[in-house]
Amino acid sequence: MPRATQTDLAVLAVLSIEPMTGYALRDAIRTHLGAFWSESFGQIYPALSRLRADGLVAAGEGDRSGSSLHSLTAAGRARLVELMREPPVSAPPRNGMLLRLFFGSVLGAAACHDLVTEARAQAVAMLEYLAAARRETESDPVGLPQRPYWLMTISAGEHSARAAIAWADETLATLGALSP
Amino acid sequence: MPRATQTDLAVLAVLSIEPMTGYALRDAIRTHLGAFWSESFGQIYPALSRLRADGLVAAGEGDRSGSSLHSLTAAGRARLVELMREPPVSAPPRNGMLLRLFFGSVLGAAACHDLVTEARAQAVAMLEYLAAARRETESDPVGLPQRPYWLMTISAGEHSARAAIAWADETLATLGALSP
DNA sequence: TCCGTCATGTAAATGGTTACATGATTCG
DNA sequence: CGAATCATGTAACCATTTACATGACGGA
């Protein structure tokens, strides 16, 4: 079995919920995993071709002409478990906002204030998005076994967003005191 | 002035503190920005060549033969301010741990427990690293204008790490109740 | 003398985004 | 009919890591 990308894992995992088209796959990733994962078409379609060639997913007829419903094969499910057991690779950190803030004396306190305000707004938006996701997950007849796990990832986002807001408030106060 | 990468910004910013070699640059990024930024030699050296060619950094003689001390030119400093003012680009999210947890029903509660335990340990380690960084920054005769900004970025890491720990504890409890 | 660290660089492979091209279907 | 959405794919480009090659210097 050749090299496996992170994308392969994500694609196999989403298909384990239910068969779908490449387009729907991207949609599902955006709406359900959007807070901690992303894939573009340019990744998804080549990945599906590869996985099809390896016999890990099967392509059946979709509703529309030319569209294909991709589903996991037995081999695909086995592969999925294998990939899931591998230790997660963490992307090297790259936070442009903190980089700028670290060199804030170059930028000036006012511009830093804007920077942190924007970061706070993003965290607030994330919190709203997560609140909606939580309502949906808690009410919808989503597959019983996966619901608790979905809520755990939502909670991770909530903790992270609340921390970001608290930090932003503290930092905006400091910044305010720095240049009155 | 041609395309500017994120790496250009980081390199120019670090050189604005003091002139140094490419090697020292990477070291400084690892020790001071390590919590939210990273660069590899394969990025740094080509970036330095480009910046030299564009007249943004000047290369002087270093201590050793063959080594060169890179310092910001006036044009480089102007460029730095320009790049700092650009809105930070945020990398698309990719959290392998949360991806696996979301599909936790495939993996099983026990393996998820390991996953979250590991994440918690990483957050604890980060907190220790940040505590050391804070002590150093607060005591050292670091350039007065930049100290408050350094502390803000340290605080960001602390908030984030504490949130990760709180989430992990909550999640481990849920996971424990899920499979007794 | 030999090892670890300081130091500079290149080449290959990878992983990913963006933009583009194309066309079917649905709904107002 | 026309616009939005569903759908599949490719090509170009970009950033980045990894591994490698090379060598100087300092100290045990």
Chain A contact for B144, CB < 8 A? no
Measured from the CB, is B6 under 7 Å from any atom of strand D?
Answer: yes
Q: Whole-model pTM?
A: 0.95
How many angstroms separate the CA atoms of A151 and A144, rounded? 12
Residue B57 is given by DSSP the state: E
- Chain B's closest residue to A165, CA to CA, is B159
Provide the pLDDT for residue A1. Answer: 54
Helices (DSSP H) in A4-146: which residue ranges? 6-15, 22-32, 41-53, 74-85, 96-102, 104-107, 109-139
What single letter denotes the amino acid at residue B162?
Answer: R
How many angstroms separate the CA atoms of B49 and B55, rounded? 10
Chain center to CA of B102: 27
D9: residue with closest CA to C1': A45
Beta bridge partners of A85: none
Q: Any idea which residue has 């380690």 for tokens?
A: B125
What is the pLDDT tens value at each position of chain B, 180 positions in all? 556 789 999 999 999 999 999 999 999 999 999 999 999 999 999 999 999 999 999 999 877 878 899 999 999 999 999 999 999 998 899 999 999 999 999 999 999 999 999 999 999 999 999 999 999 999 876 667 899 999 999 999 999 999 999 999 999 999 999 876
Measured from the CB, is B14 under 7 Å from any atom of strand C?
Answer: no
Provide the pLDDT for residue B64. Answer: 81
What single letter denotes the amino acid at residue B128?
Answer: E
| A39-53, A66-80, B18-32, B138-152, range with the lowest pLDDT | B138-152
Three-class DSSP category at A72: strand
Considering only the beta carbons, identify the residue of A81, A87, A101 that sits closest to B152.
A101
How many Å lie between the alpha carbon of B77 and the closest alpha carbon of chain A? 9
How many angstroms separate the CA atoms of A122 and A36, rounded? 14
| A4-18, A135-149, B13-27, range with the lowest pLDDT | A135-149
Residue A20 is given by DSSP the state: B
Provide the pLDDT for residue B19. Answer: 96
Residue A90 is given by DSSP the state: B
Residue count of chain A, please give it. 180
How many angstroms separate the CA atoms of A146 and B103, rounded? 7
Residue A162 has pLDDT above 60, yes or no: yes
How many angstroms separate the CA atoms of B94 and A29, rounded? 11
Token reading at A174: 């400091």
- Chain A's closest residue to B97, CA to CA, is A88
Q: Is residue B20 within 8 Å of residue A81, measured between CB atoms?
A: no
Provide the pLDDT for residue B142. Answer: 67
**Cα first-last separation, chain A:** 62
